[in-house]
Amino acid sequence: MTFVIPPVPAVTIPVAGGNGQFPVRRIYCVGRNYAAHVREMGMDPAREAPFFFSKPTDAIVVACPESHAQIAYPPATEQFHFEIELVVAIGAAGRNIPVEQANSHIWGYAVGIDMTRRDLQIAARDKGRPWELGKSFDQSAPISALHPAAEVGHPVAGAIWLQVNGNDRQRSDLNKLIWSVPEIVANLSKFFELQPGDLIFTGTPEGIGPVRSGEVMRGGIAGLTDLEVRVA
């Protein structure tokens, strides 16, 4: 086959403790999934059905502590915000997946940050426009190494936190998710046939805020590899 322009390289995430790589297919994200974060965004944390948005696959930046990853400060924003999140990696295809079977479709888990141009997201939200300008830009999905569920199980509780230059900014617990991971997988699979390689960012707790050039974000979730990334 002759490509008329260079083909895009595969986007992959390293598997913790080995040489394997997980190929990324699509990136889905859940909005408003911790009540305290819903309130800080000025919304009502009533338990509405989950809603989703997407990021492009090549928004991924591998940001394990040893990779010394950097992301550029993106254009067109004065409010470049972090959102620490548990990331689910799908390993088996499925649609209309029952909640009780959802975990069997999950290959593993990682720590990710849903980087957001907050000013553009809020402007889009308030005008009823799509969120892409605020959410789906280059390098907007730093992620740490992926841990197989076969090794770490399916976490339902445990610390989730983010620091900027060593200072706590977000700290909560996975047990505060409004929609559990199996509920998210089941709901998303009503709208899309999930495929191996799909990622789901499951929402952020309270404490979101801005980062500036030169600052270092470090985030973690109990039992998973920390994430570390510097804003160039």
Identify which of residues 135 and 147 has a Cβ nearer to Mn ion in the complex: 135
Q: Within 76-105, which residues bind Mn ion (CB under 5 A)?
A: 83
Is the Cβ–Cβ distance between 83 and 150 less than 8 Å? no
User: DSSP string of 112-167?
Assistant: EE--EEHHHHHHHHHHT--SHHHHS-TT-EEE--BEEHHHH----S-EEEEEETTE
Q: Within 114-173, which residues bind Mn ion (CB under 5 A)?
A: 114
Identify which of residues 114 and 228 has a Cβ nearer to Mn ion in the complex: 114
Give the shortest CB-100-to-Mn ion separation in angstroms.
Answer: 26
Residue 156 tokens read as: 């339902």
Identify which of residues 83 and 198 has a Cβ nearer to Mn ion in the complex: 83
Q: Which stretch binds Mn ion (CB under 5 A): 39-47, 56-64, 111-119, 188-196?
A: 111-119
Q: How far is 116 from 101, CA to CA, in rounded Å?
A: 32
- Among residues 144, 172, 204, 225, the one that binds Mn ion under rule CB under 5 A: 204
Provide the b/e sequence for 150-171 (b: ≥16 CB within 10 Å).
eebeebeeeebbbbbeeeebbe
Identify which of residues 82 and 148 has a Cβ nearer to Mn ion in the complex: 82
Give the shortest CB-30-to-Mn ion separation in angstroms.
Answer: 7
Residue with tokens 């699979």: 189
Q: How far is 96 from 192, CA to CA, in rounded Å?
A: 9
Does the protein bind Mn ion through residue 228 (CB under 5 A)?
no
Q: What's phi and psi for 30, nearest 5 deg?
A: -100, 135
Q: Which stretch binds Mn ion (CB under 5 A): 100-108, 124-132, 189-197, 203-211?
A: 203-211
Number of residues that bind Mn ion (CB under 5 A): 3
Identify which of residues 130 and 214 has a Cβ nearer to Mn ion in the complex: 130
Q: How far is 63 from 111, CA to CA, in rounded Å?
A: 9
Return the sign of the alpha-carbon dihedral for residues 212, 213, 216, 217.
Answer: positive
Give the shortest CB-81-to-Mn ion separation in angstroms.
Answer: 9
Q: Which stretch binds Mn ion (CB under 5 A): 1-9, 147-155, 202-210, 223-231?
A: 202-210
Give the shortest CB-201-to-Mn ion separation in angstroms.
Answer: 6
Give the shortest CB-77-to-Mn ion separation in angstroms.
Answer: 16
Identify which of residues 148 and 198 has a Cβ nearer to Mn ion in the complex: 198
Is the Cβ–Cβ distance between 161 and 168 less than 8 Å? yes
Give the binding site for Mn ion (CB under 5 A): 83, 114, 204
